[in-house]
Amino acid sequence: MSAGGPGGGGLSRRQFLGRGLAVVAAAAASGCRVEELIGRSFRELSRDDVARVLARAARRQSARFGRPVTVDGAGPLPGVDFGYGLDLSRCIGCRRCVTACVKENNPSRRRPQIQWIKVLELDKARGVDLAHADAYYEADAVPRPGHFYMPVQCQQCRKPPCVKVCPVGATWKEPDGIVVVDYDWCIGCRCCMSACPYGARHFNWAEPDLPADELNPSTHYLGNRPRPKGVVEKCTFCIQRVRHGRYPACVEACPVGARKFGNLLDPESEIRQVMERKRVFVLKEDLGTQPQFYYFYAT
């Protein structure tokens, strides 16, 4: 299922302890979701448990939004390692990727407004100088002369600092390169937000405000499933799409073709063409995070 692999059958130590505790009874009586308090993270579940947990999540989400929601648990395909390419010479800063991402991934719309992609407007003369970046420029006047645009989202690092610092292992890197969060295991300590050099992690400061008619009902357990209050979320390369052979929403939405995506292990993939023909760079390479998100200038 994941990097940790499915747990064994029978009654595990954790289940045993969990069932034996009076806390369970107390929590159940108060209406808490016992399995989220004590129990196991998604990563440790056996295959049977996964099916049960997915069905439960689908039931709950459907009830929450009053319309059918599917919760997919598709695992990584063997021989796949996703990579992302972004052509800075093409990007015009129109932010259609941001809109598409919001529509696809079910983030909170208002208070807090959560967006997984930030498009930075930068001064050509200064280059990639984040201290002078502007993420709040007027979108109807782009591209502005003298400026270039740099979209930043989760860089799906090979050495993700967010995974290292998580005190409960609620976030991890899947074998296909996608860093995910188990929203039912995250304790909301926000260590990962402090550790992330790319501002790619976002916190649900309040109960997410997601109107039922704006919901994308086709979800993945580790991806765009609507999140609860008090947990961290992030870009997952649209795990719900890419594990079924589709492009991430931002790639589809880009009007100038600045965004490239594919399997780094497949010599025919678009991302491999970029890696072989263009000169690429990664953001903040001095921090040793080794992103799987590559910037390049095609022209």
Partner 1 sequence: MGRLLDFAGGCVRVLARGNRAYRAWVALLLAMIGTGALAYAHQARLGLIATHMRDQVSWAFYVGNFTFLVGVAAAAVLLVIPAYVYDWKPLKEVVILGELLAISAIVMCLLFILVDMGRPERFLHLAPLLGTPHWPASLLTWDALVLNLYLAVNVAVAAHILYRAWRGRPYDRRVVVPLVLFSIPMAVSTHTVTAFLYSGMAARPYWNASILAPRFLASAFCSGPAVLLVLFQVLRRTTGLEIKDEAISKVAELMAYAMFVNLFLLGAEVFKEYYSGTEHLLYTQYFWSGIGRHRALVPFAWTGLACSLAAFLLFLVPRTRHHPVTLNLGCALIFAGVYIEKGMGLVIPGMTPDTLGEIYEYRPTLTEWLVATGIFGVGFLVFTALVKLAVPILSGRLRASGTAAGAPPALAPGAAP
Closest to partner 1 by CB, 64 vs 190, is 190
Which spans in the chain are helix H? 13-20, 22-29, 34-37, 47-65, 96-105, 161-165, 191-195, 239-242, 249-253, 270-277
Q: Which of 56, 63, 110, 194 binds partner 1 (CB under 8 A)?
A: 194
Which stretch, 63-71, 189-197, 241-249, 271-279, contacts partner 1 (CB under 8 A)? 189-197
Is position 32 an interface residue for partner 1 (rule: CB under 8 A)? yes
Q: How far is CA 90 from CA 143, 271, 299, in A?
A: 10, 16, 8
Distance CA 93, CA 260 (A): 16
Closest to partner 1 by CB, 179 vs 242, is 179
181: β partners: 171
Max CA pair span of the chain: 67
Closest to partner 1 by CB, 205 vs 281, is 205
Q: Which of 7, 161, 177, 248 binds partner 1 (CB under 8 A)?
A: 161
Minimum CB distance to partner 1, residue 132 (Å)? 7
Which 35-74 positions form the footprint of partner 1 (CB under 8 A)?
36-38, 40-41, 44
Give rounded-to-5 percent helix, strand, coil for the chain.
30, 15, 55
Minimum CB distance to partner 1, residue 167 (Å)? 4
Q: Which of 154, 231, 254, 271 binds partner 1 (CB under 8 A)?
A: 231
Closest to partner 1 by CB, 169 vs 255, is 169
Burial of 181 (0-12, 13-18, 19+ CB in 10 A): buried
Question: What's the sign of the alpha-carbon dihedral 180, 183, 187, 193?
Answer: positive
Q: Which of 95, 202, 225, 272 binds partner 1 (CB under 8 A)?
A: 202
Is position 285 an interface residue for partner 1 (rule: CB under 8 A)? no
* Coil, strand or helix at 192: helix
Distance CA 200, CA 181 (A): 12
Which stretch, 81-89, 112-120, 255-263, 266-274, contacts partner 1 (CB under 8 A)? 112-120
Closest to partner 1 by CB, 185 vs 247, is 185
Closest to partner 1 by CB, 33 vs 246, is 33
Side chain identity at 85, as an amino acid letter? G
What does the binding site for partner 1 look like in residue numbers (CB under 8 A)? 13-14, 17-18, 21, 23, 32, 36-38, 40-41, 44, 111-112, 118, 120, 129-133, 135, 152, 161, 164-170, 185-191, 193-199, 201-207, 228-232, 287-288
